Amino acid sequence: MHAMVVGMDGRFAVLLGKDAAYPAPVAFTLAHELGHVMLNHLAEAPALVDVQDPARFHDSDSQEREADQFALMLLTGSPEPDIQTNLSSFNSPTLAAAVLAASGEYGVEPGTLALCLAYRRNAWAVAMSSLRFIYKERKRASDEVNQIAETELDWSLLNDEGAHFLRNVMFGKDD
């Protein structure tokens, strides 16, 4: 499982099954799952599971395409961003330099720009490698996401066993 969104009584949770060392891939996955919620894709089912990475897997399912477009609109301002390069071929450092320079002009996070180009040109290896030049350090995205989730969750709504389980899932420990 790459990620899933579950809903119950008008409340939703996104569960990430795959971690990343940089924020851009996780941002797209979270935005994609939020798309399912905002587009009411859970009206007929209590959960939707994305087995494969929605950024790399081109699904013919209309709900998956809609969630992709929602994610792209949220992250870039366009459901179909037209990210171009003036080079026919490029390597990871040159791609990183280009998106770092262009991110201010476009108002889009540089890692997201690199992944948009990867999607458009099927240049995943170069784009994923460029992330190490874009970001100053590797950092498990799950740590950042779970720290935010911890502050947003109303832990008092869980019984002790449920809170213990969720803390173990999120942090590998209980408090």
Count, in order, helices (H) and strands (E) of the chain. 7, 3
Q: Which tens digit of pLDDT belongs to each residue from 64-109?
A: 999 999 999 999 999 988 877 777 788 999 999 999 999 988 899 9
pLDDT score of 44 = 85
Cβ-count burial of 106 within 10 angstroms (0-12 exposed, 13-18 middle, 19+ buried)?
Answer: middle
Q: Which tens digit of pLDDT belongs to each residue from 118-165?
A: 888 888 999 999 999 999 888 888 888 888 888 988 899 999 999 999
Residues 6 or more apart in contact with residue 67 via CB below 8 angstroms: 32, 33, 35, 36, 39, 41, 54
Does 54 have pLDDT greater than 70?
no
pLDDT score of 59 = 62
d(CA 123, CA 5): 28
